[in-house]
Structure 1
Amino acid sequence: MKLGFVRHGQTQWNLEGRLQGSSDIPLNDTGRNQAREAVKVLETGGWDVIVSSPLSRARETAQIIADGLGMELGPSYDLLIERDYAQGEGMVETEALEKWPEKNGGGIEPLDSVVDRGLRAIEQIAADYPGKNVAIVCHGTIIRYTLSHLAGYKLDTIRNGSVAIVGRDKAGEWQLELVNDEVPQKLIH
């Protein structure tokens, strides 16, 4: 079993550097093109199903990918919704960081909560699709911090429209195989 995480394509708020979190902001044209580019990375992966966050930017990205791979779009999972930025939603990131260093405060969802949701989503998807290869379209923060937790080291960024892949090793542990469409530097030695 492997899981392919795709960060949704760009939105206007991404372009402006705004925290969009759980706000339901649609893709822009660049984001739609990024989704089409993700198909090229995913097309040889042997995917059985594509699921996503229920937010429209993730669902539209997932639909573009499903169409590009000639597959039906699977269900959405609420656990995959992006970090809730609460009072910071819509703020430019630098402004939010000035007000709440490390984005702690203002009702912003703690990162350990984001990771917990990400891990629960992975286990739910693995239970729903045992032994299947599942492409998951969701959001940058939940992908970055959940995969950092699984990898045991901090990932710096997850680009819009990029693919990250994790697979289970012989012991059943998740192992990072691809990040931002590339093999992670930690694995190249």
Structure 2
Amino acid sequence: MKPILYKRASTLDELQQIRELQLLNSSQNISSEEKLQEGFVTVQHTVALLDQMNTACAHIIAKEGKKVVGFALVMLSNFRNEIEVLIPMFERIDSVLSPNKSYVIMGQVCVDKNYRKQGIFRGLYDFYRTQLQHEFDYLITEVAAINQRSMNAHESIGFKKIDSYEEEGINWNIMLWDWK
């Protein structure tokens, strides 16, 4: 096993690998049992949108050799209207945060099934903070309330639930990590 390298995404191949990992772990492509045990991702991005987001502020990835084994997407608030399912999240954030605070959205985090329980989730977030804490006050994400594995993992990093809401039958928790 090669060492895990944390870096910012910089190639089309890395973005395509993010997309492949996303599809493998999408809530539509895994069993209910696996969702409970392993967690899941909800949103699916096109490679074109991943590229636009990456150009604005590069995504955080974990690689073993040439293989992307984990990712934490970076989404600036100016992408708020690009993914329809995320619009309510941005509206809620605007209603609870002070306008003089800056934030970035952790658009999604995922670790390859074969690489879980090796500290990569925490490594992605540690690298994320190192890279972006001087530009933003907060890192914000949202987690489906039924995704208990993800809720627990985010709380262990230092995220706190600041709001929750229901949209199309799904209860969402907005989580904030205060970097200041």
Normalization by structure 2: what TM-score? 0.37
Choose between structure 1 and 2: higher strand proportion: 2
Normalization by structure 1: what TM-score? 0.35
